[in-house]
Amino acid sequence: QVHLVESGGGSVQAGGSLRLSCAVSGDTNSRRRMGWFRQAPGKEREGVAALFLGGVSTYYADSVKGRFTISQDNAKNTLDLQMNSLRLEDTAIYYCASGGLARSGSWYEAPNFIYWGQGTQVTVSS
């Protein structure tokens, strides 16, 4: 069992920055892959960024490359997402997720993540 609690969401103007943090606890075997996903109103959930084994592999969605940075602090047991140059289309609920062994598809895809946080709202305005 893994417990994930997101924080750091809020409202920001376009071009601004936010830092999301996810407090992580529980079974380390189910934390081999850690990621951030988001879901905007009326849209499907999409992967934003992910880490495998703490950085052996890193994934970023094309839409956030160069603007978002995912990082893991093992001492603090947190997974962070630094979001810069925010755009209106970044508005969504952001979820932290973790997973262990691969289940299907590419390693960073949602089916491989079995534990999810409750989400934190990010709203970008003009």
Q: pLDDT at position 116, please? A: 98
Share of the chain above pLDDT 90, in %: 89
- DSSP assigned state of 105: S
Dist CA 52 CA 55 (whole Å): 6
Q: Which residues pair with 20 in a beta bridge?
A: 81
Whether the pLDDT of residue 54 is over 90: the answer is: no
Q: pLDDT at position 74, please? A: 87
Dist CA 18 CA 21 (whole Å): 10
**Structure confidence at residue 100 as a pLDDT band (50, 70, 90):** confident
CB 24 within 8 A of CB 78: yes
Whether the pLDDT of residue 57 is over 90: the answer is: yes
Dist CA 34 CA 50 (whole Å): 6
- How are the residues of the chain apportioned to helix, strand and coil, as percentages rounded to the nearest 5? 10, 50, 40
Q: pLDDT at position 48, please? A: 98
